[in-house]
Amino acid sequence: MKSFSKDKQTSNCSGESKCMESLQIILDGEASQSDEENFMNHLEVCMPCYNYYNMDKAVKELIQTKIVKVKMPEDLVKKLKFQLENIKEER
Amino acid sequence: MEEVNKATNQNNAGLDKAEKDALFEKEFMPLIDSLYNFAYRLTLDEDDANDLVQETFLKAYRFFDSYEQGTNAKAWLFRILKNSFINDFRKKSKEPSKVDYNEVETFYNSDDVDENITADLRVDSVSEMIGDEVATALNTLAVDFRTIIILCDLEGFTYEEMSKILDIPIGTVRSRLHRARNLLKDKLKSYATTLGYHK
């Protein structure tokens, strides 16, 4: 379990906007390994960033797991394929 | 002689027609469901989504020569669809309640970060939500915000791919994503409160 030294638990992170940027880049897998490591280290000592990151991560996972991808109805797929066949024959 | 001329005219991509058709079939047809899902989440209407997908595939076939083999077929198709969507819906504006561009433009002018909105949303409340609630939260975001969340989180496009699909700089991709996520969290928070997920 993570332990936060009490004297470092502040409500405002000193590196706020930079942290927000890093957080998002890391969440979306766009960060370099060293940037990611630095940020993860930062999370060990910064409660607001730790919470923010975990919330954003939970929301992203929510979208990924709970949104059902709507499929195109079979009959419309057939219709599309039929239309494409017609165009192919024209050329 | 005639056969040779025919082959040359159709040969823009260095392939004959049969090869082109096979390539189209192989690279693009598997993407139908992803594109339909995207179209549906943009239009929130089955018929409009269907029209958009059809239009996209027909355009893709017509302009197949300008598609470079081995490059990102999915991003290319999504870009075509997004452009068709913008063109069609700006012309029609038959259902302004679904796509409100004024609303979208207002949001764009302020990219400030709303930290306090998300202050008391809890991870466990979020994880308990069901699909319908999440879908509603997503669908009620302004179209450009839900677009970017769909592209990033549902379809897994990179920032660079999104930049190309949406014709915006990568910096704008990141700030729009950040703004979209804050708005989404705001909606989830209000559902969580209404539905009693947290007291």
Residue A1 lies in a domain: no
Q: Are B148 and B166 in contact (CB under 8 A)?
A: yes
Positive or negative, the CA dihedral B7, B12, B13, B14 is positive
- At B118-147, the pLDDT tens digits run 456 788 888 888 888 899 999 999 999 999
- Asked if the structure places residue A24 within a domain, the reply is yes
Dig out the tokens for B86 from the structure: 């913008």
Euclidean distance between CA atoms B64 and B23, whole angstroms: 10
Whether residue B178 contacts residue A23, with contact meaning beta carbons closer than 8 Å, is answered with: no
Structure tokens at B20: 């082109």
Q: How many domains does chain A have?
A: 1
Quick check: A72 and B10 CB within 8 A? no
Phi, psi of B121 (to 5 degrees): -85, 135
Q: Which residues of B touch A19 (CB under 8 A)?
A: none
On whether the B2-92 domain is CATH 3.30.110.30, my answer is no
pLDDT along chain A (91 residues), means of 10: 43 77 95 94 93 94 92 92 82 57
Residue B24 pLDDT more than 90? no
Helix (H, G, I), strand (E, B) or coil at B103: helix
ipTM of the complex: 0.83
In degrees, to the nearest 5, what angle opens at C-alpha A55 toward C-alphas A38 and B119? 110
Query: Which CATH code is given to the segment(s) B101-194?
Result: 1.10.10.10
> In this predicted model, what pLDDT tens digit does every residue of B146-170 receive, in sequence order?
999 999 999 999 999 999 999 999 9
Contact B138 A20 (CB under 8 A): no
pTM attached to this predicted model: 0.80
With an 8 Å Cβ cutoff, is B50 touching chain A?
Answer: yes
- Domain span at A45: 6-90
